Amino acid sequence: MEQLIEDLTRGNVTEVKVVLASVVLALAVYQLVLAGVAYGWLRLPFLEAATASWTHRASGDAIVVLTILVATACIAFYGFEEGGAHAVFGCALLGTIALKIVAVRAGGRLSRLLPLLGVSVLALFGLTWLTSAGDFLGAG
């Protein structure tokens, strides 16, 4: 697995991980705006709540795929041993994303938790990025 990741990234594992994680973080911030429109907290004259909700879901699916790719590369290549805070935030992030997906699928009373779970996911994305990519780019 380690060799496969090294080959796929042509030896630039960290750089590829940093780029993908930064894309995910930027899209996660956009997700917050879309969620705001979908819930009616933010009113934009050119975007309906239903459309914002659809894009939020589509963009969220892309974010989940990218996050799984980054997490797989991270765990398979670097492991947990030297992860420290990054590993803790990363695991909490994956767990919260899983919970959010369950809440979306289950609906009902669980869907009331979605705003809280969404904000938690964004915060964890930020913390996970800061303790790895941000650190690498000199922002952490």
Partner 1 sequence: MRRPPQAVQVLGSVLVALVIAAIAIAVVTAHFGPTSSAKLEAREDALKQREDLIEEREKAREDRLEESR
Tell which positions 49-78 bind partner 1, by CB under 8 A: 50-52, 54-55, 58-59, 62
| CA distances to 41, 65, 82, 94 from 3, in Å | 47, 21, 19, 24
Give me the residues paired with residue 47 across strands: 44
- Cα–Cα distance measured from residue 97 to residue 50, given in angstroms and rounded to the nearest whole number: 22
Looking at residue 39, its amino acid is Y
Judged by CB under 8 A, the stretch of 17-25, 74-82, 91-99, 109-117 that binds partner 1 is 17-25
- Regarding 45 and contact with partner 1 (CB under 8 A), the answer is yes
Size of the site for partner 1 (CB under 8 A): 25
Q: Which residues bind partner 1 (CB under 8 A)?
A: 12, 15, 18-19, 22-23, 25-27, 30, 34, 45-48, 50-52, 54-55, 58-59, 62, 133, 137
